[in-house]
Structure 1
Amino acid sequence: FRIEHPASPAAIGVLLGLLDEWLVERPDLRRMFALWIRATLMRK
């Protein structure tokens, strides 16, 4: 998954922006991604 192994910090921002657009009508799935991102990326 590209979010787990980004090429640069800027790449994370781009990917999260795309994910945000994609999940605009799916707040439940958006919340699950937010939890996963917090657990996965914030620990690094």
Structure 2
Amino acid sequence: MGEHGVHAGAARALLTSMERMSAAACGLRSVVAQTMPSAHRSEE
């Protein structure tokens, strides 16, 4: 029982960190999408 609880906690922590990473990747992608066009425009 105790061992299973440890595994469940580790799985939950892993899921939470994965969700945070995907959320950060999504935010990063939108930021890049917003900054890239303006960067190209200033170069021209």
Tell me if TM exceeds 0.5: no
**Larger Rg, first or second structure (1 or 2):** 2
Identify the TM-score tier after normalising by the shorter chain.
0.3 to 0.5
TM (norm. structure 1) is 0.38
Q: Which of the pair has the greater relative contact order for Cα pairs under 8 Å at 6+ separation?
A: 1
Higher helix proportion (structure 1 or 2):
2
TM-score by length of 2: 0.38
